[in-house]
Structures are given as structure tokens and as C-alpha cells.
Structure 1
Amino acid sequence: MNVIETSLPGVMIIEPELFGDHRGWFMETYSEARLQEAGIDVKFVQDNQSFSAAKGTLRGLHYQLHPKAQTKLVRCTKGSIFDVAVDIRTGSQTFGKWYGIELSAENKRQLLIPKGFAHGFLTLTDDVEVQYKVDDLYAPECDRGIIWNDPTIGIEWPVKMTPILSTKDEMAPLLAAAENNFNFGE
């Protein structure tokens, strides 16, 4: 497993090691011990999976407030996505900054998104499946969002079309108006 730091402290790219032969391939998609060896100490409690039928589907930007904030480990098992993390920790030097990467069934990369970051993705192909681990359960009372096209964040989404959004995501506030109880250093 290869762990790569990104421009946002704590957001990491995970590249599983692939073992292949004439039969196909094998990879370890998650190892608590290997993550701990890389300095990542997180206990995941739930696996989630989403399916998006059409290219241009955008989910996000989502996060959960404390005390139910979540660290996520995201991977795309079918198709391709542009996966994004946004630092929403008040007082952070990278507050409001974003990092994006293509995750696909082909490249097998994963993105680790810690608490204090909003998460979203845009499908780059039709028929996309995304799986992600979380370290706390879904809590609707703590569920929050930020509008996907907030100009102060300025995410450069790679598909130039009007995205397919849920009503909830269409109505999400700007970062400046979003409820947030994340403080850098906590």
C-alpha cells in the first residue's frame, strides 16, 4: 500500500498494491494495520455504497458536525469519479481550499478524507459505483452540506455541464453560511 500526502494536510491518496498473473489480479483494499504503519489511526464502523446511473451526477459537498463527524475512505469500484475534499476547519491555513482527484475502477486509488472536511464527487462516466468506509454512523441531525459551486471555494469540476443534483444538494448553503463546528487543532 502506498500512502501519498496531498496539498491538504490529512487528506491522503491510498494506492493498494496489485498482484496479478494469468488468472487476473488480487489486491488488499483495506488494512487497519498498514494504515496504522503509515500513521493513520482510524477505526471504521460502516461501509456505504452508492450507484449513479448517469455521467454528470454530483453528490455533495457533504459532512457531519461533531459529535458525529466522519472520516471517510472513498473508492470507485465501477466507472470513474472526480472526488473532492474541502477543508472546513475554522482557523486552518487551508480553510476553504479543495483537493480533487480522479478515482476509478481502473486506477484503484482511494482517498482518505478526515473529519473537518466536506466531501463530494462528480461522475465522469455512466453507471458508477462508489464505496466508502466511515468511522461513525450516519446521523441525520448532524448532516450538513455546502453548495457544489460556491465561488469562494472555486472547485474546478472537470465536466462542463449542469450537474444532476438531489434537491438537498441544490439547496445547500455557501460555505460562509454553512453550520460548522470544526476548529483547526481540535
Structure 2
Amino acid sequence: MQQHYQRLVMHLLPDAYLLANTLSDAQIEQFMQGLTERQQEFAEKYRDTTQSQARVRYRERITDNLEEWFGSLSAQQEDVVSQWVNEMKVTTADWVAFHSRLRRELTHLFTLRHNEALFSAQLQALLFAPEQFYSPVLRAKFQYNQAISDKYLVEIVRLASDKQIAYFRGGD
């Protein structure tokens, strides 16, 4: 998936440059204002979220994804999801800060829109390696959560029934 994403972005990069180069300052300001408003809405929505509420969201998201892949989960798999969610580090505030940083980087990127080499290099950095803009705290939490996810996903697959495997393969 990552390789496909990178090929797609590389294919669209020249068009992104052309589009950015044709935008007026007013259009860029309007785009950035819309982006800022969406980020503020996200931040506001999750500002007072407790760790417990965040874990409920994580559980729902993980369960939905797993059910998309395997169909209904067994009680044992649901227990594994509970363990998984309880071990994860909550990252909501860290993602809000990350999105603010990306917005600042994007603002800077638009100042380079008339310099194809600089614009393309910076756009590639934003699209191919957004993790370079993670704070050290977000990076550590993300890596930890990824390791936890890998561990529990293996356990979910190990517990998969023949029917779930067939569902995953598209046979059911």
C-alpha cells in the first residue's frame, strides 16, 4: 500500500505544483482558513476527552477495522481488543499539535510555490515522510502503539476461525 501511495503521489506531484502555482494569494488564504477551521473543530471536539473516552473511540475503530477484515469477532478476540486498547498510549493531544505543525509547514510550502525545485522537495517531504514533523513525544507514543498493535494483531489472526480466514480471503 505504501509503495502504491508513493507512486501515486509521484505521479500527481507535477500537477500539484502546477495547481499551487496558479493559486492566488487570496485562494491560498481561503484554503488555509478552511484547513485551520477544520483543525480547530477537531481540537475542540477532543479537547475535553478523557483517557477513558479516547480508549472507547480506539476500541470502536479497532473493532470496526477488524470486523471489516474478518467479520464478527469472537468473545476471545474481543478480549484481545480490550487488552490492546488498554495498553495503548492516548495520542489525541499529540495529533492536534502535529496537525498544527503541518498547517504551519503547508503555509511555508505555499510561499515556495513559484520555485518548482523547492516546492516539489518540500511537498515530497510532507507527503512521503510526515513523521519527520512528529514531536519526540508523538514519535515515541506512535512507535509504542505500533508495536502494541503488531503484537495484538498477530494474536487476533492466531485466534481467527476458518470462517474468518475465508471472509478475509473474500470467500464468505
- State the TM-score bracket (shorter-chain normalisation): under 0.3
Instruction: Please tell me whether Structure 1 or Structure 2 has the larger radius of gyration of its CA atoms.
Output: 2
Q: TM-score, normalised by structure 2?
A: 0.24
Bigger relative contact order, structure 1 or 2 (CA pairs below 8 A, ≥6 apart): 2
The structure where strand makes up a greater share of residues is 1
